[in-house]
């Protein structure tokens, strides 16, 4: 029994600590200061918008979303609290949210200004919260931060902001903060993609890298080549053009870009279900047939159709894991190679560069997996962004050659590697080994990759969360913001953020399980698992 | 490569089969017949209500929910399809849903009439769908069936009902079709409870057994004894009275009763965090102190407060796993037992019966776990419903004594037993060993139990689904509706229902994994995993 009692003492101690921690923010803002007042927030909080985007539908929708999140407990108590509020005019300390947008440009692109200032006043000075931002997307980031400052006080049954006044000046460290979703190995319904986009916005991630198609299935409708989605797993595991628009629009409303990927010439076997001519032969189906014009007509058709859907300036052309055996073993391709005096390696380069040309002609900056850079670095289009995955030390080489780089070292940022614990995800550093600021600027950011071989609707979210959040803070917050012992400065905040995700209905897994997405080992508080 | 090709042939074969299977219903209706026409459904489907409940807000809200489910693909294509529809008047085969409710009574109780008739017409005869039901809840069950008949045709981009005309007469086999949720071992946020209630309605389950409190934590607010929820895991892992009302109301809107449980005298250690007098001593904390009036005052206070929240006529008083060692080892209780000439077994009976009295005085029918029946069958209040869990063969004894019974044999219907595959859940039979119809009628139904020791927000849904659906069909459909080889008559429909759950955003796990909630073993279609 004594052992048990010490456990309870420890629990109480942790609970006392977590009172302080509950106001913690994730990811940490660039600059912030706080005081020691507790302010109550009116459930009928009014929005007052100033500046050049007073009627921004994106802002108004976001404010409604966050009001529902912050005041979710107030549904039934609402009318009573309203009455109280009306009777005693200053029943709540904070009753208005003033948001000023300096620009009405709501174009969502790489390098977008996401900075914001959030002020929670001293109780004697004002009853108004304040956000000032250059763009509506900065305001959205500020609203997320605001929502994390709010907590429901179960004693008074009001929403409170502790440690006011708050002054927060914030902006992201990296422009590109991505999450890859793979809808080819397992189809993810649109509802599920939306749930994930919504949860990304809580961690201030801003790029959904949609790895739509791969060798296993081709779920997307391509009007120009309508047989392509015959390569879907079934007639119901498909995305219409309208579905894709809906995903892009849903993401935009949350300040998230969607970067589509068409991974060529490898990882494309499913294309041939609808158009078998794309296979080198019925018996050897990958990579796509490099010798036919039809292959590039289809790529061009796909990209033409996709350009209408995906406004983001980056487009991913894959280019990884190309095994050219089918090219050298299929007679008509072998002949074509000889006629063109090409090795299979030359043909790989030829294919990638031709796909790049098509993408660039559509005003896209091509993104390619690092094998393309590793194989023919000097040939890549200068606009190319190289996507690291194989291991550490790649981005330093990429930026030394003047290319831009995205960091996704699989040893730490591949979420399907279930044996990578949160702290290894957290301490990964995209700028490792890059020392000049001009080269550092070429690292546009990083991305955690949720490959779908063993992740479907049933478990994708708990494989993503909470580890994707660890990367999200690395990508948003200043490099030295948590240089102390991360078990003290980071872990309790990450556990807190995981519980926040759970409260918002996101099935984020326990933080400290060695293997990702494992069940909790026994009963306990969310804040300690 | 040939092996691979045979795999593709098999895949195609399965796909052809699944075209037929896609219209499959879960759970199977009592009576149904179908034809061979395909009808398109207007995305602007109109609701026309007749009968005594024309303005039922429950029906109108349900119709809106199902319209969003059925027409989820139409968001963007909507206006185009509307225009088409307006130009060619009969662009869709079905444009109106006529629902007739014979009674305007929307009281939700055990034994409620959930029967309905659903007619999908022959295309030459009518453009109207029809539901007739005695209660609004019957109509809700019919709407769920309707939604399962609908599927999105990716070629024409319209919603279609295949195999029309349909004539379905349906009603449940058992009145009580439950799922237990345990919010003491892990706190489940209100959002998550709502997600689960929503998913229960898809499988036509109708009782949420809310095991709110247990020894680990006491998350519920009890206004009469406000220190009780000091036994919550943290200040944020709590339910206000308003939260509980919200859960009950959310469930009612979906035709689902909420049966609360207060498990006494064991499983109640967390009560003493706020009121240590409830413990036998600070060193021996369970079961609740049988010797003090205060103990029963607190139970009475809790039940008085809960009665306002939970209108369902059943209330669960637990009574399981009572280890009385603390009673015989604590001096003041030992003395009390001697003074009252009681053994600890007598005291257990005394406690349970006293709690039953309190519940009955509040017009509740008490439900108790089977240990109470196993220990003192002749003493239980005649209104008692005995909740089986320890194993098979209990309900036959219970009904032989004239009590009602709920079947939850842990060997097959405890969802935390991860090694019970879907077919064992499916073939479990609540009436096993009960042969007279008068005794069979005393088995009010069954319940699958989602104990929370290793299930939290991160994994509770994929532990529940799809296995809970297997039990749901057992409880709804006629006993002999699938007497054939269930690998043919049940498995493809269950896989189909799992994919339906996924499409609706519910993370139901692969069906055929031996261990529940395991990840898919590799890439593949939802319909085959």
Residue B137 belongs to what domain range?
A: 16-170
* Residue whose entry in the numeric block shows the structure tokens 């803002």: A29
A261: pLDDT strictly greater than 80: yes
For residue A39, the Cα-to-chain-centroid distance in whole angstroms is 32
Number of Cβ pairs < 8 A linking chain A and chain B = 208
Q: Quickly state the pLDDT bin for A51 (edges 50, 70, 90).
A: confident
For residue range A176-206, what is the model confidence (pLDDT) as tens digits? Answer: 999 999 999 999 999 999 999 999 999 999 9
Task: Report the distance separating Cα A283 and Cα A273, nearest Å.
Answer: 13
Dist. CA A434–CA A399, nearest whole Å: 8
Provide the residue count of chain A: 529
Answer whether B526 sits within 8 Å of A233, measured CB to CB: yes
- Strands A166-170 and A31-33, how do they pair? antiparallel
Gap from A206 CA to chain B (nearest CA, Å): 22
Answer whether residue A96 is part of any domain: yes
CB B498 within 8 A of CB A501: no
Listed in sequence order, the residues at least 6 apart from A469 whose beta carbon sits closer than 8 Å to its beta carbon are A26, A27, A203, A494, A497, A498, A501, A508
* Residue A15: predicted pLDDT: 43
- Element housing A473 (H / E): helix A467-476
When CB atoms are compared, the residue of B15, B75, B191 closest to A505 is: B191
Query: What gap in Å lies between CA A419 and CA A463, rounded to an integer?
Result: 11
Give how far A93 is from chain B: nearest CA, Å: 22
Give the CA distances from residue A319 to residues A184, A203, A502, B266, B349, in Å, rounded to whole numbers and listed in that order: 16, 29, 37, 62, 72
Interface probe for B, chosen from A71, A81, A160, A523 (most Cβ of B below 10 Å), is A523
**CB distance B240–A456 less than 8 Å?**
no
Q: What share of chain B is helix, strand, coil (3-state, %, to 5)?
A: 40, 20, 40
Are the beta carbons of A526 and B191 separated by less than 8 Å? no
**What residues of B are in contact with residue A234 (Cβ under 8 Å)?**
15, 18, 525-527
User: Which member of B246, B284, B503 has the closest CB to residue A191?
Assistant: B503
Question: Using the beta-carbon criterion (under 8 Å), do A154 and B509 form an inter-chain contact?
Answer: no
Q: Which residue of B has its CA nearest to A8?
A: B273
Are residues A186 and A150 located together in one domain of the fold? no
CA distance A52 to chain B (A): 29
- Distance CA(B260)–CA(B266), nearest Å, equals 16
Q: Is A321 a catalytic residue?
A: yes
Q: Of A151, A170, A189, which closes a domain?
A: A170
Nearest CA in chain B to A80: B242
| Model confidence band, residue B257 (pLDDT cutoffs 50, 70, 90) | very high
Question: Which pairing describes strands A150-153 and A158-164: parallel, antiparallel, or unpaired?
Answer: antiparallel
B24 with B154, same domain: the answer is yes
Is residue A502 one of the residues assigned to a domain?
no
* Residue A452 backbone phi and psi in degrees, to 5: -100, 15
Same domain as B93, residue B197: no
pLDDT digit string (tens) for A240-249?
Answer: 999 999 999 9
What is the CATH classification number for the domain harbouring A300?
A: 3.20.20.80
Distance from C-alpha of B407 to C-alpha of B235, rounded to nearest angstrom: 36
Provide the pLDDT confidence category of residue A2 given band limits of 50, 70 and 90: very low
Taking the Cβ of residue A461 and every Cβ of chain B, the question of whether any pair is shorter than 8 Å is answered with yes
pLDDT by residue (tens digit) across A267-284? Answer: 999 999 999 999 999 999
In this structure, of A46-60, B265-279, B280-294, the range with the lowest mean pLDDT score is: A46-60
Question: Does B5 have pLDDT greater than 90?
Answer: no
B366 and B218 within one domain = yes
B468: left (phi over 0), alpha (psi -120 to 50) or beta: alpha
- Measured between alpha carbons, how far is B166 from B150 in angstroms, rounded to an integer? 12
Contact B186 A503 (CB under 8 A): no
CATH of the domain at B137: 3.30.379.10
Phi and psi at A486, nearest 5°, equal -70, -15
CB contact under 8 A, A452 and B186: no
Q: Which residue, B383, B451, B445, is CA-closest to B416?
A: B451
pLDDT score for B50: 85
Q: Which of B1, B187, B283 sits opposite A283 (nearest CB)?
A: B1
The pLDDT, as a whole number, for residue B73 is: 79
How do residues B203-233 score in pLDDT, each as one tens digit? 999 999 999 999 999 999 999 999 999 999 9
A449 within domain boundaries: yes
Kindly list the strands in the beta sheet with B443-450, ordered across the sheet, starting from the edge strand earlier in the chain: B257-260, B207-211, B176-182, B443-450, B404-407, B385-387, B365-369, B314-316
Measured in degrees and rounded to the nearest 5, phi and psi for residue B71 equal -105, 30
A136-149 helix and A57-70 helix, angle to the nearest 10 degrees? 10
Same domain (yes/no): A152, A236: no
| Residue B508: inside a domain | no
- Residue B117, SS3? strand
Asked if A4 is an interface residue toward chain B (Cβ–Cβ < 8 A), one would say no
Rounded distance, CA A414 to CA A451, Å?
Answer: 8
End-to-end CA distance of chain A: 23
Token pair in block for residue A507? 């099935």
A27, pLDDT greater than 50: yes
Q: How far, in Å, CA of B117 to CA of B132, rounded? A: 5
Res A3 pLDDT > 80: no
| Average pLDDT of the residues of chain B | 93
d(CA B290, CA B280): 8
- Identify whether residues B92 and B235 lie together within a single domain: no
| Buried residues in A168-177 as b, exposed as e (16+ CB within 10 A) | bebbbbbbbb
Query: Are residues A184 and A155 both part of a single domain?
Result: no
Clarify whether residues A124 and A209 are in a common domain: no
Above 70 in pLDDT, residue A14?
A: no
Q: Are A379 and A403 in contact (CB under 8 A)?
A: no
Clarify whether residues B325 and B463 are in a common domain.
yes
Are B455 and A519 inside 8 Å of each other by CB?
Answer: yes
Q: Look at A236 and B523 and tell me if their CB atoms are within 8 Å.
A: no
Contacts of B461 in chain A (CB under 8 A): 507
Position B80 confidence tier, pLDDT thresholds 50, 70, 90:
low
Q: Do A191 and B77 touch (CB under 8 A)?
A: no
- The nearest CA of chain A is from the CA of B77 a distance in Å of 7
Helices (H), A217-330: 241-252, 293-309, 325-329
* A-proximal residues of B, 158-187, CB under 8 Å: 184-187
Give the mutation candidate from A38, A458, A502, A512 for the B interface (greatest B CB count, under 10 A).
A458
Catalytic residues of B: 321
Cα gap B17→A431, rounded to integer Å: 53
Residue B238 sits in the same domain as residue B279: yes
Q: Is the pLDDT of residue B41 over 60?
A: yes
Cα–Cα distance for residue pair A77/A392, rounded to 1 Å: 53
Residue B501 included in any domain: no
pLDDT at position A1 is 32
Tell me, yes or no, whether B210 lies in a domain: yes
Chain B residues closer than 8 Å to A242 by CB: 73-77, 157
For chain A, how are helix, strand and coil distributed in percent, rounded to 5? 40, 20, 40
pLDDT at B22 over 50: no
Looking at the structure, tell me whether residues A418 and A384 fall in a common domain: yes
Q: Residue B526: list chain A partners with CB under 8 A.
A: 186-187, 233-234, 237, 456-457
Task: Work out the percent of chain B whose per-residue pLDDT is above 90.
Answer: 88
Selection from A476, A463, A478 nearest residue A422 by Cα: A463
Q: How far apart are CA B247 and CA B309, in angstroms?
A: 10
Can you tell me the distance from the alpha carbon of A351 to that of A265, in angstroms, rounded to the nearest whole number?
Answer: 7
Closest in B234, B456, B526 to A456, CB measured: B526
Confidence of residue B76 (pLDDT cuts 50, 70, 90): very low
Evaluate whether residue A494 is within a structural domain.
no
Instruction: Spot the catalytic one: A30, A321, A357, A429.
Output: A321
Instruction: Give the rounded distance of the alpha carbon of B258 from its chain centre.
Output: 9
| Nearest chain A Cα distance for residue B396, angstroms | 34
Question: Which has the minimum average pLDDT: A302-306, A337-341, B9-13, B63-67?
Answer: B9-13
What is the chain A residue with the closest CA to B519? A454
Give SS3 for B91: coil
The 10s digit of each residue's pLDDT in A355-384 is 999 999 999 999 999 999 999 999 999 999
Distances (CA, A) of B527 to A185, B151, B280, B515, B523: 13, 15, 55, 18, 12
**Separation of alpha carbons B73 and B106, rounded Å:** 32
State the total domains in chain A: 2
Q: Are B124 and B211 part of one and the same domain?
A: no
Asked whether residue B262 is domain-assigned, the answer is yes
Q: Check CB contact of A191 with chain B, cutoff 8 Å.
A: yes
- Cβ of A235 within 8 Å of Cβ of B19? The answer is yes
A236–B152: do the CB atoms touch at under 8 Å?
yes
Look up residue A414 and give its two tokens. Answer: 């591949």
Q: Are strands B116-120 and B166-170 parallel, antiparallel or unpaired?
A: antiparallel
Among B17, B199, B270, B519, most A C-beta atoms within 10 A, so best to mutate, is: B519
> Among residues 481-520 of chain B, which lie with CB inside 8 Å of chain A?
499, 502-505, 507-510, 517, 519-520
Whether A529 and B284 lie within 8 Å, measured CB to CB: no
Confidence band, pLDDT 50/70/90 cuts, at residue B376: very high
Cite the beta strand spans of A237-283 per DSSP E: 257-260
Interface with B, mutate which of A236, A496, A506, A510 (most B CBs under 10 A): A236
Binary contact (B22, A236; C-beta < 8 A)? yes
The pair of three-digit structure tokens given for residue A170, joined into one six-digit string: 């914030």
State which of B477, B500, B517 marks the end of a domain.
B477
Q: Does A27 touch chain B (CB under 8 A)?
A: no
CB contact under 8 Å between B236 and A502, yes or no, is: no
Q: Is B170 in contact with B141 (CB distance < 8 Å)?
A: yes
Query: Would you tell me which residues 257-316 of chain B have a C-beta closer than 8 angstroms to some C-beta of chain A?
Result: 283-284
Q: Do B189 and A461 touch (CB under 8 A)?
A: no
Which neighbouring-strand residues pair with A477?
Answer: none
**Mutate which of A456, A504, A521 to test chain B, going by most B C-beta atoms within 10 A?**
A456
Question: Cβ–Cβ of B507/A233 closer than 8 Å?
Answer: no
Tokens representing A287 are 């990579």
* Alpha-helical regions (H) of A161-205: 190-202
CB contact under 8 A, A524 and B233: yes
Q: How confident is the model at residue A88 (pLDDT cuts 50, 70, 90)?
A: low
Q: What is the pLDDT of residue B415?
A: 98
A76–chain B nearest CA distance, Å: 6
pLDDT of residue B16: 43
* Last residue of one domain, picked from the residues B151, B170, B189: B170
Task: Give A493's pLDDT tier (boundaries 50, 70, 90).
Answer: very high
pLDDT at B42: 95
pTM of the model: 0.94
Phi and psi at B312, nearest 5°, equal -60, 140
| Cα distances (Å, whole numbers) of residue B517 to A136, A315, A467, B420 | 40, 35, 20, 11
């Amino acid at each position: 029994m004594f052992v048990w009692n010490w456990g309870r003492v420890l629990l109480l101690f942790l609970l006392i600590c977590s009172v302080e921690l509950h106001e913690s923010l994730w990811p940490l803002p660039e600059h912030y200061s706080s005081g020691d007042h507790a302010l109550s927030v009116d459930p009928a909080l009014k929005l007052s918008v100033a500046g050049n985007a007073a009627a921004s539908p994106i802002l108004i929708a976001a404010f409604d979303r966050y009001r529902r999140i912050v005041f979710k407990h107030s549904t039934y108590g609402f009318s009573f609290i309203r009455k109280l509020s009306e009777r005693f005019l200053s029943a709540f300390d904070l009753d208005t949210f003033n948001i000023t947008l300096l620009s009405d440009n709501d174009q969502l692109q790489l390098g977008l200004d996401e900075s914001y200032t959030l002020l929670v006043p001293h109780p004697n000075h004002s009853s108004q919260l304040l956000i000032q931002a250059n763009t509506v997307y900065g305001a959205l980031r500020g609203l997320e931060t605001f929502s994390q400052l709010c907590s429901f006080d179960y004693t008074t049954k009001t929403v409170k902001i502790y440690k006011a006044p708050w002054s927060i000046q914030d902006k992201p460290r990296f422009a590109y903060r991505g999450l890859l979703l793979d809808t080819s190995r397992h189809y993810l319904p649109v509802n599920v993609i939306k749930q994930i986009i919504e949860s990304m916005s809580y961690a201030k991630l801003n790029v959904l890298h949609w790895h739509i198609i791969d060798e296993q299935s081709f779920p997307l409708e391509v009007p120009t080549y309508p047989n392509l989605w015959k390569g879907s797993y079934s007639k119901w595991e498909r995305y219409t053009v309208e579905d894709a628009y809906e995903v892009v629009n849903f993401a935009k409303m949350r300040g998230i870009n969607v970067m589509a990927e068409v991974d060529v010439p490898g990882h494309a076997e499913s294309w041939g279900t609808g158009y078998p001519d794309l296979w080198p032969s019925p018996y050897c189906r990958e990579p796509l047939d490099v010798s036919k014009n039809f292959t590039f007509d289809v790529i061009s058709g796909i990209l033409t159709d996709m350009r209408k859907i995906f406004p983001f300036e980056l487009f991913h052309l894959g280019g990884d894991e190309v095994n050219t055996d089918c090219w050298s073993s299929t007679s008509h391709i072998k002949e074509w190679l000889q006629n063109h005096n090409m090795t299979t390696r030359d043909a790989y380069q030829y294919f990638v560069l031709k796909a790049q040309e098509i993408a660039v002609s559509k005003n896209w900056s091509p993104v390619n997996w690092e094998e393309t850079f590793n194989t023919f670095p000097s040939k890549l289009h200068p606009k190319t962004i190289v996507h690291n995955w194989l291991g550490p030390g790649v981005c330093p080489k990429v930026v030394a050659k003047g290319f831009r780089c995205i960091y996704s070292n699989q040893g730490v940022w591949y979420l399907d590697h279930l044996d990578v614990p949160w702290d290894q995800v957290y301490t990964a550093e995209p700028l490792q080994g890059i020392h000049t600021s001009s080269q550092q600027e070429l690292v546009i950011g990083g991305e955690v990759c949720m490959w779908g071989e063993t992740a479907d609707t049933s478990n994708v979210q708990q494989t993503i969360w909470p580890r994707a959040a660890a990367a999200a803070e690395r990508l948003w917050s200043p490099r030295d913001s948590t240089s102390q012992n991360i078990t003290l400065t980071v872990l309790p905040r990450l556990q807190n953020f995981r519980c926040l995700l759970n409260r918002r209905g996101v099935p984020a897994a326990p933080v400290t399980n060695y293997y990702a997405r494992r069940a909790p080992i026994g009963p306990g508080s969310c804040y300690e698992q």
